[in-house]
Structure 1
Amino acid sequence: MLEHGGNLREAARRFGRDLSSWVDLSAGLNPHGYAPPAMAPSTWHRLPETDPQLLQLASRYYGAPSLIAVAGTQAAIQALPQLRPPSRVVVAAPSYAEHAHHWGLHGHATREVPYDGLQAALPRCDVMVLCNPNNPTGATVPSERLLMWAEHLATRAGWLVVDEAFADTDPALSVAARSGQPGLIVLRSIGKFFGLAGARVGFVAAQPALLDKLADMLGPWTISGPAQQVAMAALADTAWQGHTLQQLTAAGLRLRLLLAQHGIASQGTALFQWWPEPQAQAFWRHMAERGIWVRLFEQGARGIRLGLPPDESAWRLLDAALNEWKR
């Protein structure tokens, strides 16, 4: 399996530090996630058929005309390559590594192309896959351009797959509302903005015929009953969503300015910052030795990604560690 952030047990084992003593900034999640509601006993007892209200709430929140729920967008990332015959696939790079990995596993001619080369690559591919905003660099593509790309690909039964896992903090980037047009597939998740990565709930927005094929492949009971209840509560809570968006926007700016104070020119989203650190492995080790777990990228997007500290103590710890690194 590919390496991901959030692997805190690996940090504890590798550096001999108790699990509870770490500040985990490696996964880019909202550190103040949505508080799960109390569960009715029937939630645990019944088979988890998909509640129609879950899809209604998700459709309203994302603005998508048609979607299905999946066990995290990872489930869709693994399944979508199996729904096409061998195709020419371009995956934006650097990017979330699971995309290129799974398209390559299923007989597709897959190549990775930098974001600034995607337009030129469009005529020579059948499928284009990108994250918007990008994970880990935070790079973005205007929604108008994405819609033109999707239209172009659809003329030859192609797909544009847009992973919007980090789009909640910048809704103007989203093309979910246009996912009813041919060739456009949008992936969304409650893991990042809502801080509910453990619930494993994501959504795929696309034309109904494609969604039916995907649902058939994934089979019944893809999401547990408790996870559905948590997701419905979070998607319905508009007051929490508005307050959280303000909080995360402020915290993201604070993190970028803190890094700038220490001579680090970073880029990213409200949930994380990334930069091409020349001494990435040394920085990663420096932080780990002080109980701060950051995301090290040694291939593709060579550099460091930092998520948001959860409290003032963690902010102070990060500031002190950055001071020591600069010296």
Structure 2
Amino acid sequence: HSLAGNVGEGGIVVLRSFGKFFGLAGVRLGFALTDALTAERLDAQLGPWAVAGPALEYGIRALSDAAWQADMRQRLAQDAGRLDILLGRFDVPVSGGTSLFRYLSFAGAPGLFSALGEQGVLVRHFAERPGVLRIGLPGSEPEWQRLESALAAWAARRKDAPKESGQ
């Protein structure tokens, strides 16, 4: 659901991050949809921003290719489902997310963060919320395999860990 179709009414600004919208996080490109008057005001406040040539090329091609956009949305949804299944196999609870990432919120998150990092799988942790991680979609089959191996190693360590008294 988007307000993009209503920007001509005025008073609405829709901001889009190209990289996140298209699942291309490395492409640093964004845009605003709004009415002409608000666009002029934004332009006056922001001034000229240099955008790298490759980012412009990616942007032009992706924004003009509706079939690619539909394929990307479908692929991201499938990959998000695959990630849910993989995490579920190792009893990692998913607490939310989008088609680009999943939030994990559970007491074992700090240990999982360390275990994944040891295997070269980088996830985002939140210092103010130590029980929460954000994990993005792996980009290639070798990355999926590395994530699965890292999760398996973490799960095996948990099974071998001594239980706390009373458990």
Bin for the TM-score computed over the shorter chain? 0.7 to 0.9
- In structure 1, what is the equivalent of residue 128 of structure 2? 299
SS in 1 for 2:31: strand
Query: Distance between the aligned counterparts of 1:203 and 1:294, measured in 2?
Result: 27
1:249 Cα deviation from its structure 2 partner = 1.0
Aligned-residue Cα RMSD (Å) equals: 2.2
Change (3 A) 1:178 1:325: same
Change (3 A) 1:222 1:322: same
Query: Distance between the aligned counterparts of 1:324 and 1:262, measured in 2?
Result: 10
SS in 2 for 1:270: coil
1:187 Cα deviation from its structure 2 partner = 0.8
| 2:86 aligns with one of 258, 264, 272 | 258
- Aligned ranges 1:1-327 → 2 under 5 Å: 173-266=1-94, 267-299=96-128, 302-326=131-155, 327=158
SS in 1 for 2:15: strand
Larger displacement relative to structure 2 (225-234 or 250-259): 225-234
1:226 Cα deviation from its structure 2 partner = 4.5
Larger displacement relative to structure 2 (269-278 or 214-223): 214-223
1:319 Cα deviation from its structure 2 partner = 1.6
TM-score (norm 2): 0.80
Change (3 A) 1:282 1:245: same
Structure 1, unaligned stretches of length 5 or more? 1-172
Query: Distance between the aligned counterparts of 2:92 and 2:154, measured in 1?
Result: 11
Query: Distance between the aligned counterparts of 1:300 and 1:175, measured in 2?
Result: 32
SS in 2 for 1:212: helix
In percent, how many aligned pairs have the same letter? 39
Q: Is the 8 A contact 1:190 1:231 kept in 2?
A: yes
Change (3 A) 1:197 1:272: closer
Q: Is the 8 A contact 2:10 2:38 kept in 1?
A: no
| Greater helix proportion | 2
- The amino acid across from 1:236 in the alignment is S
1:199 Cα deviation from its structure 2 partner = 3.7
Q: Is the 8 A contact 1:280 1:298 kept in 2?
A: no
Q: Is the 8 A contact 1:275 1:304 kept in 2?
A: yes
Aligned residues: 155
Q: Is the 8 A contact 2:17 2:30 kept in 1?
A: yes
1:323 Cα deviation from its structure 2 partner = 2.2
